[in-house]
Amino acid sequence: MPVMNASERKSREQICLFARSLFERGLTAGSSGNISLRLDDGCWLMTPTNTSMGFLDPARLSRLDAQGDLVSGDPPSKELPLHQALYDTRAGAGAIVHLHSVHSVAVSMLPEIDPRSVLPPLTAYSVMRVGAVALVPYYRPGDSAVAGAIRGLAGRHSAVLLANHGPVVAGSTLEAAMHATEELEETARLYLLLRGLNPRLLSQAQVDDLVAHFGLEPHRT
């Protein structure tokens, strides 16, 4: 195993800490979900296959080279292709979180959602932290074809919802990816609570104000 510096040790501990938090709050169950994080040397860490996010061992995380080949640790999650596709198309992505969180999965099954922007602008923070969420059609878990579907989005979305499966969210840091994933789940829960009630959404002018004020990517309703 390569010599591990203090930065990598901290990254491994952070992955396990955040993963356990997701598990304990019921945002991921069993051996579902996975996290990856880019390292300073161009390699990246990923949670291993068939492991619970609540009981990860920092020393056994998968260490992958820039091409996604295993360097050390346990074999990575079978969802490696979708992570790699998002890294390849989102230049600023430093970490990715993929969950099977209940409300986000439920929304992915609804017939009325727009695949270009799954959720309407319900709150300021959904616009600020998540942006427009794209829906990717259903693929079998681990199917490498999902990578092609994500690449087809050309990096326009930091958050993607896999139909009948769950969210995949990229962030500049693991903390940012976690916050965006949690915000997406809360927005999905709000959407389900308000479905059919004709809620008052943020107007396009209000969304544009957020985009301009915080320097966000464009978000059209």
- Give the residue numbers annotated as catalytic, written as ranges: 125
Concatenate the DSSP letters of all residues of 20-60 into one string.
HHHHHTTSS-TT--EEEEE-TTS-EEEPBTT--TTS--GGG
Distance CA 188, CA 194 (A): 10
- Say if residues 160 and 93 touch (Cβ distance below 8 Å): no
Closest CA to 83 of 99, 98, 66: 98
- CB-based burial label for 206 (10 Å; 0-12, 13-18, 19+): middle
